Amino acid sequence: MPQPPRFPLIDGFDFAGAGSSMRGAWAAGEFPRLRALLHDEAGSVEYELQGACDEIGRHSLDLHVVGRLRLTCKRCLEAVGVELREDVTLWLARSQRELDAQPLTTEGPDGIVATKDMAVRDLVEDQLLLALPYAPRHDNCSAQGSAAPAERRTPFAGLRGMLRVRNRH
């Protein structure tokens, strides 16, 4: 039985129009853009991709990504495990012009330009990059309480004293 290609390519419109599905897993270190953001290459990512076509003929891809990665805690610089779970629907456009013609909304599917050779690994990696926390850190980081909290001072604290002096005259 032939093995599926290690890094599969799909024709976006054919895949979606046929309602095809695909699933697989990769080691965290197999994502070139993500690798630079990892503490180390431990961890793995599983994905499931489902093609669909809605009632008005719009093609889309439903992507489900689950993974556990090791990022660097921004407080102590040690490894911190991060669980990621992303579900996204990607509406397929035939050109950038078609994509740009769609109104921008905060709800509904994101749009991408589909090609004959869409790299599934790139679709998964894009979602992982979007899901990463901006500043990962441990919930109870050992570096958190190492310094005494500084006295809180607002930028307008000096004005309060000036107003008191002015009101006394």
* Domains of the chain by residue range: 9-146
Q: Which stretches of the chain drop beneath a pLDDT of 50?
A: 146-149
Kindly compute the dihedral angle of the four CA atoms of residues 96, 63, 80, 42, in this order, to the nearest 10 degrees: -100
Contact 10, 24 (CB under 8 A): no
Number of alpha carbons in the 13 Å side-chain half-sphere of residue 83: 1
Q: Closest Cα partner for 63 from 133, 126, 4?
A: 126
Q: Which two tokens stand for residue 165?
A: 């002096």
Instruction: Give 157-167 pLDDT, tens digit per residue.
Output: 666 666 666 66
Long-range contacts at 76-80 (CB < 8 A, ≥ 24 apart): 76/137, 76/138, 76/141, 76/142, 76/143, 78/39, 78/138, 79/39, 79/40, 80/39, 80/136, 80/137, 80/138
What is the model's pLDDT at position 148?
A: 45
pLDDT at 162: 65
- What pLDDT shows up at residue 25? 94
